[in-house]
Amino acid sequence: MKSTPAPPLRSVRLLDQLRERVRYRHYSLATERSYVYWARSFIRFHGLRHPRDMGAAEVAAYLSHLATVRGASASTHKQALAALLFLYKRVLDIDLPWMQEIGRPRTPVRLPVVLSQAEVGRLLAAVDGVAGLILKLLYGTGMRKMECLRLRIKDLDFDRRLIVVREGKGNKDRVVMLPEALLPALREQVARARALWTADRKAERPGVELPGGLVHKYPRAGEAWSWFWVFPADHESVDPRSGVRRRHHQHEDAIHRCLRRAGNLADIAKPLRTHVLRHSFATHLLERGQDIRTIQELLGHAHVDTTMIYTHVLNRGVRGVASPLDALPTGLPPGPLQCGEAIATYVLAVRPSLGGPRHEPGAALA
């Protein structure tokens, strides 16, 4: 079945046309900024030539520059290639059979960073306030960072102890648990959000941002309490797409800063990102015997293979195997013994078990 052709472009400038196509396909703002960045970088690398006048050789040269000169990772390499592919195929409407010939690096498989339960306890104890509540929700529910920040009042179900995650990765909805331990703090946060919502309504400020085309279908819905943010910002900001000045949700950078400070206070040497709490959530559920399918649903993974990575992190098989070093009769020498003394001590301990004659320490090396 042939796909419906996209409408004609209304913008004149190339990067504006790229933004127009990204928004037409309902990609996120982060994807839009990424694609614009790589398209601009590609054009500047080739001396401001128009991409329509370039082809496979220029794309390959740019990607080679990223890998060899800038030392870009495999994921960065793929992201740049995806942006250029979108630019040629969706914006310039140019067939790209040569794109299949461009080498794509293999992304290495990395084990996720996981905190122990003791480390999580120290980390969460080191941060309080709204940021602390958000970090506790990330660990207690397994939500992604932006899924948590974009929560609306209507997504909280206190009676059934559930949280509805809207438009998660892959534009899918799912349901996660609402931790009992966070009920009082969440109710207080909703009360604070209510006060900000009331102030906005009295000041007749614009309503919050709505997903998709709801703003055209229900123009006043953005002013409704049910659509207000659970974690609203304490100030207004300009919507980068519409240009409307309105109240947005908490900014992700503030959460990252609080996480780094908490990690320093908790003396955690592991690299910390908000996603580490999601990894720890899944691993600790596995340690408690939760089945992998349920964890897959809670995390919102499309395929169980993605969730299976946490079984490798858990790795009960390796943890149950003792190192042969720990099985040595005398263990490690307690101090800086001379080489001859160490070997002689080991021979004395092992020789009887082998059934051979015993020797004095001095004769062991004779």
1 or 191: which carries more pLDDT confidence?
191
* Coil/strand/helix, residue 236: strand
Distance CA 118, CA 201 (A): 44
Residue 299 has pLDDT above 50, yes or no: yes
pLDDT digit string, tens, across residues 249-295: 999 999 999 999 999 999 999 999 999 999 999 999 999 989 999 99
336: pLDDT confidence band, cut at 50, 70 and 90?
A: low
214: pLDDT confidence band, cut at 50, 70 and 90?
A: confident
Are 14-101 and 117-311 in the same CATH fold? no
329: pLDDT confidence band, cut at 50, 70 and 90?
A: confident
What CATH number matches the domain at 117-311, 3.30.565.10, 1.20.1260.10, 1.10.443.10, 3.90.1150.10? 1.10.443.10
Distance CA 60, CA 190 (A): 52
Choice among 21, 77, 90, 144 that is catalytic: 144
DSSP code for 8: P
The candidate with the shortest Cα–Cα distance to 155, out of 218, 249, 234, is 249
- Strand bridging mode 174-177 / 232-238: unpaired
Instruction: Quickly list H helices, the chain.
Output: 14-24, 29-45, 56-68, 74-86, 117-125, 129-141, 145-149, 183-202, 214-217, 252-265, 274-287, 292-299, 304-307, 309-314, 316-319, 339-354
The reply to whether 46 belongs to the active site is no
Domain ranges of the chain: 14-101, 117-311, 324-363
The reply to whether 62 belongs to the active site is no
The reply to whether 169 belongs to the active site is yes
The reply to whether 27 belongs to the active site is no
Give the burial string for 36-49 (b: 16+ CB within 10 Å, else e): bebbebbbeeeeee
Choice among 257, 275, 312, 358 that is catalytic: 275
The reply to whether 275 belongs to the active site is yes
What token pair was written down for 23? 């928004």
The CATH superfamily of 14-101 is: Tyrosine recombinase, N-terminal domain (1.10.150.130)
Choice among 77, 278, 279, 284 that is catalytic: 278
Choice among 89, 122, 166, 169 that is catalytic: 169
Residue 313 has pLDDT above 90, yes or no: no
* Residue 63 near residue 102, CB atoms below 8 Å: yes
The candidate with the shortest Cα–Cα distance to 18, out of 3, 40, 47, is 40
pLDDT digit string, tens, across residues 66-81: 988 998 888 898 899 9
What token pair was written down for 196? 């900000």
The candidate with the shortest Cα–Cα distance to 57, out of 84, 20, 93, 32, is 84
The reply to whether 144 belongs to the active site is yes
Residue identified by tokens 């709801």 is 214
Distance CA 10, CA 58 (A): 27
Q: Looking at residue 94, what is its pLDDT?
A: 84
Instruction: Quickly list H helices, 87-182.
Output: 117-125, 129-141, 145-149
Distance CA 100, CA 103 (A): 8
